[in-house]
Structure 1
Amino acid sequence: MLFVGDDWALDHHDVEIQDQAGRRLGKARLPEGVEGVARLHGLLARFLPEDAEPSQVLIGIETDRGPWVAALVAAGYRVFAVNPRQAARARDRLGVSGAKSDAGDAHVLADLVRTDAHQLPQVAEDSDLADGVQALTRAHQALIWDRARHVLRLQATLRDYFPAALEAFADLAEPEALELLGKAPDPDRAARLSRSQIAAALKRARRRDIEGKTTAIQAALRAPALGRGPVLTAASAAVTRSSISVISALTTEIAQLETEVKAHFGQHPDTGIYLSQPGLGQILGARVLAEFGDDPHRYASAKARKNYAGTSPLTIASGRKRTVRARFVRNDRLVDALTRQAQSALRASPGARACYDALRARGIGHQAALRQLANRLVGILHGCLTTSTHYNEATAWPQATTTSQNRQQPAAA
C-alpha cells in the first residue's frame, strides 16, 4: 500500500508518498495538467510492485472536483476528499509550532489518509451525465441568485430617486416592469407613458385584467411624489437602464439554462424515480440528483444520505448534557432544494401534510417541521433509489393512508 498526500494549488501540486510504516518514500512538486499526472504515475511506479493494483494507492486531497481528481479516479487510485477543517486539525496534531508550508500540508494529508482512511469519504464515482447535470443546475441557480442581487440594487436605486416605480411594480424582475422602466427610467417620462404603452407591455407579459392593471400602474406613476435634482435624477436613470439591461440578460440566460437542465436531467435513468417524489419537478429534481450524485455505493444507508443532506439532527452529548440541534455544516444547495421539496409536498402528498401537521401540533416551529419532513422525504427517496421503484403514497405513509381511508368509510348503520 502507498499513501499519497496531495496539496493542490491553481498551477501545481505538492505530493508526498509514504509506506505503511509512515516512512517518506518520495516527494515532488508537480505541474497541473497532463504532464503533472504523468509524472505522478511515474513516481508511484517506482515504489509499487509490478503486480500491484492501482487500488493499492490511497490519495488524500482537499477537493473532490476538477480534471486532476477525475484523472486520479479514472486511473483506479482510491481518492479521499479531506475537508480543510480536518486537515487543519491534523496539522495541529502533528505539530504545535504553527509552521505551515505546501510540502508540510502534503505530509499531513499523506499521514491522515494512512491512519484514518476508514473515516474519510472516498470521492464518489458519479456518472458523466450526473456531473453534467450538476454543472448546469449550479450555474442555473447561481444566475438566479445573481439576478436577485441586481433586482435588490435596482430597488435601492429607485427608492432613492423614483419611489413611485416601487408602488407601480410589485416585482421589478417581471417583464412588464423591465420594459416600461427601460422606456421611462425617470419620473417625468414615466408620468407621460400612455395607457396603450402600458397595456401593450402587459399583453406581451401575458397578464390578466389588463385594464385594471393599466389603470393602477398609470395612477402610481402619475401620483404626486417628492423628487430629486435634475442631475442626480439623470444619473440615477442611467444606472437604472444599466441594471435593467443586466437583469434582462440574466433572465434570458436563466431561461436557456433551464431548457438545458431539463434536457440533461431527462436523459438520466433515475429521472422517473425523482419525478415520482412528491414536491419534485424537473428543476428541483435535477438539483437533488446533482447534489446527491448517482454513485450507487456512495451512501451505505438512508441515515448516511440524510447526514450528507444535512436534514438529520445533530446530537451533542457530554456527561449529563445532551443537546439536539440542526446541522449547519452542510451542502446549502441541497438543503435549499430539499426544503423547497418539503414545502411543495404539503400540497402534493396527504401523508407529508399529515406528518407536518403532527409536528406542528407538538409545538415544533414551521422551519423545524419542514426540516424534519425533508428528512423523512430523503429516507423515502433513498428507499426508492435503492430498490429502483417509484414513489407510492401508501407505502411511504402507511399510517396516514390507513387513517385517511378510515375517515372516508361511512359510519355503520
Structure 2
Amino acid sequence: MGINCGIDWAESHHDVALADDTGHIVARARIDTGATGFNDLLRMIAEHGGTPEGTPVAIETDKNLLVVALAEAGFTIYPINPRAVARYRERHGQAGGKSDPGDAAVLANVLRTDPDVHRVLPAVSEHGRAVKALARQHQEAIWALHQTISRLRSVLLEFYPAALQAFPNLKHRAALTVLTAAPTLEAGQKLTRHRLEYLLRRCGRRNDPGLVEQILTDLRAPTLRQPPQVEASLGHAVAGLLGIVDSMHRAVDDLEKELGRVFDTHPQAPILRSVPALGPILAARVLAEIGDDQTRFVTPAGLRAFAGTAPITRASGRSHYVKARKVRNKLLCDACHWWAFAMLTKSAGARAHYDKRRAAGDHHNAALRNLANKLLGRLWWCLQHGEAWDDRAAWPQAHDGPNPAAA
C-alpha cells in the first residue's frame, strides 16, 4: 500500500496529512519549521510504510526550506498551484469552509487522484538555483528602486515641482546628484552656475550647450511654495529618500556584478550568450526561470506555455476565440518580451517575422509575443542539443546577410 503526503506550509508551522490508496487519511500532524519538524515528518512517513522514493509530496510552494530538505532527501515534490487546490477543495464541499489540516488532506489526495496532470519539481542544479536566486533578487531590487523613486517624485510634487521641471527623469544620476546638493526649493534657487557645472561633471554628465542655463532657469522660475517650516520638513524627507535611492543603486550594481559572475560560469551560459540580443543579465534571467533540468520541458510547447507566449483557445457553443495566456511565469514572460524587442535590431529574420505579424493585424505587444514564441522554440532546441544559436537556421526564409552580434 502506497501513501501520499500533503503539506500545508506556514511561517510558524506546517500541517501534514498522509493518505493511503483509498483516500483515507492515515495520519495527521503539525510540525515546526526547523530540523526537529523535518525529522518528525520523516519518522511519521516511515512509521506508515513510506519511503523517499515511494512517497510523493504535494505542497503549495517550490522555494520553502522544507522543499529543499525533502528534495535533498530524495522525495518527489509536486508544487501545486493554490488555485488548483481551491478547486479540489470545492469537490468535497461548497460551503466555503477552509482549514490548514483540511488543506493538507486535500493536497495528499491531489496526488492520489491526478498525479499525471501536475508537474514534478524540476531537478535544477545548485549552480542553476544560485543563478535563479541572484536573478530574482536583482529584478526585485530594481522594482523596489523604481518604487522608491516614485515616492521621491510624489514628495517633490508637494513642495518642489521646479525640480521635476529641471529633471523630468529622476532615474538619471545627474538628477539625484543635483537634488542631493539642493533638496529644497530654497537651496535649488541658490545654486550657482559654477556649483552646478561641478555637480554635473562629478556624475559624468556632459555639459550640453544650454543645459546649465536651462536647469538654473527651471529651478529659479516663480512658483507656489509651502510654508518655510513645512518646506524644511519635506526637504528632510527628500534627503532621506535620496540616501535610500543611492544605497539601492549600489545594491543593484553589486547584485548585477555577482549575477554576471555566477552566470558566466554556468555550463549553459555559452549557449545562451550566443543568442542575439541576450546580454548577460537578460540571459541569466531566462536561465533562472527555465532552469537547467534537461527533462523539465519534453517539447517546446511546454516551455512556451510556461513562459506564457503560447496563446490559449476558449471555445464554448458558438463562442470561439484565441487570447493571451494569463497564467504563466511572469518573470520569464517579461524577460522574453524584452528579448523579442531587442531582437528587432539584432536579427533580420526576427524583424521580418515581427513586420509580418504587424501587417497581419497584430498590435505591438501581440507581435512581440508571437516573436518570443518562435524564439523560445529555437532556444529549446539549442539547449536540448547543446548547440550555439544559428540565426540562419532560426530564420531560414530570411534574406542572406551577416549575423548581427549579440548585445
**Contact 1:16 / 1:110 at 8 angstroms: preserved in 2?**
yes
Tell me how far apart the structure 2 counterparts of residues 154 and 46 of structure 1 sit (CA, whole Å).
58
Which aligned segments of 4 or more residues in structure 1 are displaced greater than 3 angstroms? 209-212
Match of 2:11 in 1: 10
Gaps of 5+ in 2: 403-407
> 2:177 and 2:98 mapped to 1: Cα distance?
55
Q: State the one-letter code of the partner of 2:21.
A: Q
Which of 370, 373, 378 lines up with 1:372 in the alignment?
370
Bigger shift: 232-241 or 105-114? 232-241
Question: Which one-letter code corresponds to 1:361 in the other structure?
Answer: A
For residues 225-277 of structure 1, what are the alpha-carbon distances to aligned partners after superposition, in whole Å with 9 as ceiling and x for unaligned? 33332222212211211111111111111111111111111111111111111
Letter paired with 2:389: Y
User: Of the candidates 63, 66, 73, which is equivalent to residue 65 of structure 1?
Assistant: 63
Local SS of the residue matching 1:93: coil
Please report how far the alpha carbon of residue 210 of structure 1 lies from its aligned counterpart in structure 2 after TM superposition.
Answer: 4.5
Is 2:252 the counterpart of 1:254? Answer: yes
The structural deviation recorded for 1:373 is: 0.9
What is the deviation of 1:223?
2.5
Rounded to whole Å, the distance in 1 between the matches of 2:99 and 2:168 is 54
2:177–2:203 Cα contact (<8 Å) kept? no
Report percent identity of matched pairs: 39
Q: Alignment length, in residue pairs?
A: 401
Q: Give the letter for the 1:182 counterpart.
A: T
Instruction: Please say if residues 380 and 396 of structure 1, whose CA atoms lie closer than 8 Å, have aligned partners that are also in contact.
Output: yes
Residue segments in structure 1 that go unaligned for 5+ positions in a row = 406-413
Q: TM-score, normalised by structure 1?
A: 0.93
Query: What pairs up with 1:165-180 in 2 under 5 angstroms?
Result: 165-180=163-178
> What is the rounded CA distance, in whole Å, between the counterparts of 1:175 and 1:375 in structure 2?
36
Q: Is the Cα–Cα contact under 8 Å of residues 178 and 200 in structure 2 kept in the other structure?
A: no
Is 1:26–2:24 an aligned residue pair? no
What is the distance in 2 between the residues matched to 1:13 and 1:180? 51
Deviations 1:67-117 (A, max 9, x none): 210111112211111111111111110223433222211111111111101
1:151-177 deviation per Cα after TM superposition (whole angstroms, max 9, x unaligned): 112212222222211121132122222
Match of 1:381 among 376, 379, 382: 379
Q: Answer whether contact 2:197 2:207 (CA < 8 A) is retained.
A: no
Partner SS for 2:344: helix
RMSD: 1.6
Question: What secondary structure does 1:151 align onto?
Answer: helix
What letter matches 1:34 in structure 2? A
Query: Deviations along 1:128-184, whole A, 9 cap, x unmatched?
Result: 111111111111111111111121122122222222111211321222221221121
SS state of the match for residue 356, structure 1?
A: helix
Equivalent residue letter for 2:163? A
Matched AA of 2:150: L
Report matched runs for 1:117-156 at 5 Å.
Answer: 117-156=115-154
- Does 2:327 correspond to 1:329? yes
Q: Where does residue 43 of structure 1 map in the other structure?
A: 44
Distance 1:175 1:97, change over 3 A: closer
One-letter amino acid of the structure 2 residue matched with residue 340 of structure 1: W
Given candidates 82, 85, 88, the residue that maps to 2:83 is: 85
Q: TM-score scaled by structure 2? A: 0.94
| One-letter identity of the residue aligned with 1:269 | P
Name whichever of 391-400 and 184-193 sits farther off.
184-193
1:364 offset after TM fit, Å?
Answer: 0.9
Q: Say which is worse superposed, 221-230 or 77-86, in terms of deviation.
A: 221-230
Q: Answer yes or no: is the 8 Å Cα contact 1:199–1:210 preserved in 2.
A: no
**Partner residue, 2:358:** 360
Give the letter aligned to residue 368 of structure 2.
L
* Bigger mean CA deviation after superposition, 225-234 or 84-93: 225-234
Aligned partner of residue 56 in structure 2, secondary structure: strand
CA contact (8 A) 1:60 1:79 kept: yes
* Residue in 1 that maps onto 2:405: none
